Amino acid sequence: MATHTIAVLVQDQPGVLQRISGLFGRRGFNIDSITVGASEERGLSRMIIKTIGDGAMIEQIQKQLYKLIDVIQVRLLSASPMVARELALINVSALPAQRPEIMGVVDTFRASAIDIGPSSLIIQAVGDSDKVDAMIELLKPYGIRELSRTGTTAMLREGQEKVAQVQVQHASQLQEQPDAQAQLREARTAHTLAVPCAERSLA
């Protein structure tokens, strides 16, 4: 099964993150990483979720996300060319005699030492997950004292926005949930200026 990256635009309301993570848990979907932050539109937040699954599972995830009233837009970013980055802070043991070797690793990955202590260094690394993973593996022999990673954030490359848009709300689901239909339409209408018409059409 492959790793997929999904962008979810949501109303900035209390409990939204809990509802989305709860949906994944109830359905047995694994979250590899999730990042949340303000979007370009006031009142809306964007979540970037990395998950592992096959095509059928990813399609089901998208459908389930659209059942949540706070969800405005879902995009399967990994289906198109995208830019993905994460930041890692790595506290590694570094005696004076070891530091030239460690800095050689740091320079190779275009990372930086942002704090120098008597017996350790804090390294800052920015890149895709594979790059960060590779750097961590090379630093492990020196002794990693602490590791903190932000998780992946991502966006599509220019020209890919319409290609990757996924709108999967079915008419049968709307008929079964008329109240949800009205609220979904209201939310998407309020977002007219931010989402192109072709991207807002419901399947």
Per-residue pLDDT of 119-161, as tens digits, reads: 999 999 999 999 999 999 999 999 999 999 999 999 998 866 5
Give this prediction's pTM: 0.73
Average pLDDT rounded to a whole number, residues 52-75: 90
Helices marked H in 36-122 — which ranges? Answer: 55-65, 99-108
pLDDT at 2: 87
Question: Could you give all domains of the chain from N- to C-terminal order, each with its CATH number?
Answer: 2-81+157-200 (3.30.70.260), 83-153 (3.30.70.1150)
**Contacts of 145 by beta carbon, 8 Å cutoff, 6+ apart:** 91, 92, 93, 120
pLDDT at 108: 96
Which range among 2-6, 19-23, 26-30, 138-142 shows the weakest confidence by mean pLDDT?
26-30
Residues 82 and 155: beta-carbon distance below 8 Å: yes
Nearest to residue 38, comparing CAs of 125, 132, 153? 153
What are the tens digits of pLDDT across the range 10-22?
Answer: 999 999 999 999 9
